[in-house]
Structure 1
């Protein structure tokens, strides 16, 4: 039976709990990842005895539960002992060594380091000294660690964390990294000495099967939406579209937006037309989240490139660099680093320029990026994370 038998009044809703459909929600039930969670728990088990964890790389396509698994294990660790300090750092938002260290400092001390005078070496010393004094173990998860590869940030961050015991005897540390790009090859991006200190094992998160996707979405519907609002046929449609996109977060966003669409129409049940109406928005939710974390220089490159593509201008790397430098002066090396970062977030793609020779490359815009950038620039929140974008911009460390 639906919660409202006729039509919705202004103060009525079809949701029991809309927060269950946000990408950062930590579900009470986390199915279909028992083996991966057990492997991660095994890697962290030495910390409960005062030892360092087994450094771990978690790889898998987007929306396969990697971050959720880490957050669940970290939450269990925090409930079990105060001698382990788990810190999850979003590398999409924290893209510099200083930004990562500030996040660790905040988790350890409960407040941010001073705005001025807090050098990387000073923060490291205070972090290491405090760990040694408390007899605590620091476990840092570099979530989407592939975003730290440009400019060698990942190598620098890892070596500082893993060798902290050399300057602060007694400090125990370890790292977990997640990678959704499936392109992070540690042997090619890390120095031999860093790889020697890391010696990371790998846990793979495969895509969810069609049955698993429907099961997960059905669980969220049962807990987060009133009975009868999402018919079985509509849930089947959402699950099928989710599998086609290869990202569970698309399904969660699609359910949320479809229910909102039905609410706006004053109906008490979601119809196939609601799903179709919001699918274009939901399928690009991940791109919208990536755009909102961009630093100003990266946003400039993307905005200029989108404008050139819209005008059907040649978008070889040299031409794009000239156009970007006219708006915001930067070296070609810095420009290429920005492009590499945008490519890591799937906001641009590169390919060999068909008309040229040598190393000239064309930069192209994937489907959905132009629409997402336009919506974000106009202040629209494609995935309804009100206020998050501005907060991330304020906290971004250059």
Structure 2
């Protein structure tokens, strides 16, 4: 057997865990000012005071969630007076789901998924905080997904004004919002009590990307598995997409491709092959968060060879789902707001205002993600 071929029990990965997307790395560089801003805002909790709310903003894959989790982890080592909860709003996308997740984190018991009113469950969360005499800090990660149907304002209002109904309760919110080209604004009644410290996370520049990727390579793989030119290629792809997660996923997939070939090193071909899947990482995650009816609508649009008029699209959608036009219209509006669909008006039609709908992303990419 060639010395370049892997044996059955051999692997290229020294510690593959550092290439998992939910891994919180020990080495977290180039975000010092953002980390300091978060720590300063949450520091009052160490003295039993209500922390300052935060609005954490920036493009996908710029370290927002990791920074918050790192600060949470550091603070847990120095106090037991604070309960830290992170909610993934892409998965928990209603106010009931958000409060259910908070309740589960506080008492280690999942509440019933139905038959319990929001107010009753929220009261239980507050009672737990009162009984344990703890401050609650909630990170609403990807809060973008709560905006369209008003859930963002509802949950923010409930959390931020809880102290008015329950004196002594202290709750702070860190809203993490991904800048994907759509501006989101809270209702004025939320804004008047939110008053956050705004913390911006810009895109990493090329040198910062190189440093972070090199560090992950060093910890994830055995020596000499990743040639310099391969590392350069990964950095190039991350710089192009602006999303560090693409690079981390790309390293993982490239390593698996090399192992499949029984090779001891990752080649450029391994990277190129892996990129086709890694570049769709954010799109596929977004599509997975859609409901079945929303995915049905997206698929109908992506399968069209040209732009489709709303009336024609509704007929096809109704035949499959049985849903009425009102719900169809609501889904169209939501997917337009979340940058899945592009909705415009043509000059055609009896009143000159026919809606024309097309996919915001490459239709073939959408169909590929729908298959995953």
* TM-score (ref. length: structure 1): 0.86
Q: CA deviation at 1:268?
A: 0.8
1:292 is aligned to 288
1:163 is aligned to 161
2:313 is aligned to 320
1:342 is the counterpart of 2:338 = no
Q: State the alpha-carbon separation in 2 of the partners of residues 319 and 50 from structure 1.
A: 59
2:95 to 94, 97, 104: 97
Q: CA deviation at 1:330?
A: 3.2
Q: Is the 8 A contact 1:140 1:174 kept in 2?
A: yes
1:362 is the counterpart of 2:363 = no
3-state SS of the aligned residue for 1:151?
coil
Q: Is the 8 A contact 2:148 2:337 kept in 1?
A: no
Please identify, of 287-296 and 99-108, the stretch whose mean Cα deviation from structure 2 is larger: 287-296
Q: State the alpha-carbon separation in 1 of the partners of residues 366 and 31 from structure 2.
A: 31
**Structure 2: which 5+ runs fail to align?**
none
CA distance 1:240–1:301, shift in 2 (3 Å): same
Q: State the alpha-carbon separation in 2 of the partners of residues 285 and 355 from structure 1.
A: 37
CA distance 1:361–1:85, shift in 2 (3 Å): farther
3-state SS of the aligned residue for 1:102?
helix
Q: Please give the per-residue CA displacement for 1:128-176, whole angstroms capped at 9, x wherever unaligned.
A: 1221222211111111111111111111011111111222221111111
Q: Is the 8 A contact 2:46 2:79 kept in 1?
A: yes
3-state SS of the aligned residue for 2:262?
coil
Q: CA deviation at 1:355?
A: 5.2
Q: State the alpha-carbon separation in 2 of the partners of residues 116 and 250 from structure 1.
A: 37
1:306 to 302, 306, 319: 302
Q: Please give the per-residue CA displacement for 1:225-253, whole angstroms capped at 9, x wherever unaligned.
A: 11101111110111011101111111111
Q: State the alpha-carbon separation in 1 of the partners of residues 317 and 157 from structure 2.
A: 34
Q: CA deviation at 1:314?
A: 4.0
Q: State the alpha-carbon separation in 1 of the partners of residues 309 and 67 from structure 2.
A: 40
* TM-score (ref. length: structure 2): 0.92
Q: CA deviation at 1:368?
A: 4.9
CA distance 1:287–1:86, shift in 2 (3 Å): same
2:260 is aligned to 264
Q: CA deviation at 1:115?
A: 3.8
Q: Is the 8 A contact 2:280 2:369 kept in 1?
A: no
1:395 is aligned to none
2:205 is aligned to 209
**Structure 1: which 5+ runs fail to align?**
381-398
Q: CA deviation at 1:221?
A: 0.3
3-state SS of the aligned residue for 1:52?
coil
- Supply the RMSD in Å over aligned alpha carbons: 2.2
Q: Is the 8 A contact 1:102 1:112 kept in 2?
A: yes
CA distance 1:79–1:254, shift in 2 (3 Å): same
Q: Please give the per-residue CA displacement for 1:89-110, whole angstroms capped at 9, x wherever unaligned.
A: 1111111111011001001111
3-state SS of the aligned residue for 2:173?
strand
1:33 is the counterpart of 2:31 = yes
3-state SS of the aligned residue for 1:140?
strand
Q: State the alpha-carbon separation in 2 of the partners of residues 213 and 249 from structure 1.
A: 11
Q: CA deviation at 1:322?
A: 3.1
Q: Is the 8 A contact 2:29 2:212 kept in 1?
A: yes
Q: Is the 8 A contact 2:295 2:370 kept in 1?
A: no
2:79 is aligned to 81
Please identify, of 294-303 and 256-265, the stretch whose mean Cα deviation from structure 2 is larger: 294-303
Q: State the alpha-carbon separation in 2 of the partners of residues 362 and 181 from structure 1.
A: 25
1:240 is the counterpart of 2:236 = yes
Q: Is the 8 A contact 2:53 2:172 kept in 1?
A: yes
2:55 is aligned to 57
Q: Please give the per-residue CA displacement for 1:306-356, whole angstroms capped at 9, x wherever unaligned.
A: 23x2xx254233432332222223344433433344345543333444757
1:125 to 118, 123, 148: 123
